[in-house]
Amino acid sequence: MTQLRIGMIGCGTIGMEVQRMLAVADWADVVGILVRANGKTIANPQAVAAPLHTSLDALLASRPELVVECSGHEAVDAYAEHLLNAGCDVMILSVGALASAERHDRLKAAALSNKRRIIIPAGAIGGLDFLQAARSAGLTSVRYRSCKPPMSWRGSPAEKALDLATLSEASVFYQGSARMAAIGFPKNANVAATLALATLGLDETQVEMMADPQADGNYHEIEAVSMAGSISVRIKAMASPDNPSTSLITAHSVIHALQRECAALVI
């Protein structure tokens, strides 16, 4: 492996875990983390091993080759295009931000004109290798269902549709396209957006979201049909102990995606 100079944006639940694992990786050097001046995006400042910056210019001065965004849609808006124009690859975790066609096209154009890349990790789902291959073989339908314990949906629009505190049975509160899911649930539909971008697109990929008081984890279910075959995937992802709406596997998915960027053998 070659050593990769990595910058980061945000140091919340996922960012903290990513930087912790990168700190002991011999193939990575975290050259800086961009955080808000008020420190609100830092989950545990004492555990951060990399330099902290409060301006994009300071982060760029540390010469990152690839910057990992793990701070939210606002960070994608504020920094992604500037980073691509500055010659950095950008890994986006807040994938739902790309549900805006204007933003998607603008960032893609910036990547192309600067010969850079926008990288999206798999996150909490699996089966993307089959699904992406099936897309060129004639993918005809893709459905995704997200089922989480009620309290995992706190702070989302689900609270307007359901009384999460007293819910006694599994209840669906959203059915529709991946695009509208990502727009309506900006902190909860990144998996749906990732799946859609890898397959039929944000308008043709169908999404269902539900809260289930009996759920003992965050469940992700995918059903897809293509000319090459069909696939049905059901994943039980354990929630992060620090944030029940985030799957524990997400940070590890980021590490896997980063390793692929500098590995001699890629699978």
Q: Could you please report the per-residue DSSP string of the chain?
A: ---EEEEEE-BSHHHHHHHHHHTT-TTEEEEEEE--TT-TTBS-GGG--SPEESSHHHHHHT--SEEEE-S-HHHIIIIIHHHHHTT-EEEES-GGGGGSHHHHHHHHHHHHHTT--EE---TT---HHHHHHHHHTTEEEEEEEEEE-GGGGTTSTHHHHS-TTT--S-EEEEEEEHHHHHHH-TTT-HHHHHHHHHTT-TTTSEEEEEE-TT-SSEEEEEEEEETTEEEEEEEEEPEETTEEEEETHHHHHHHHHHHHHH-SS--
Q: Which of 73, 82, 104, 220 is catalytic?
A: 220
Active site residue 220: yes
Known catalytic residues?
A: 220
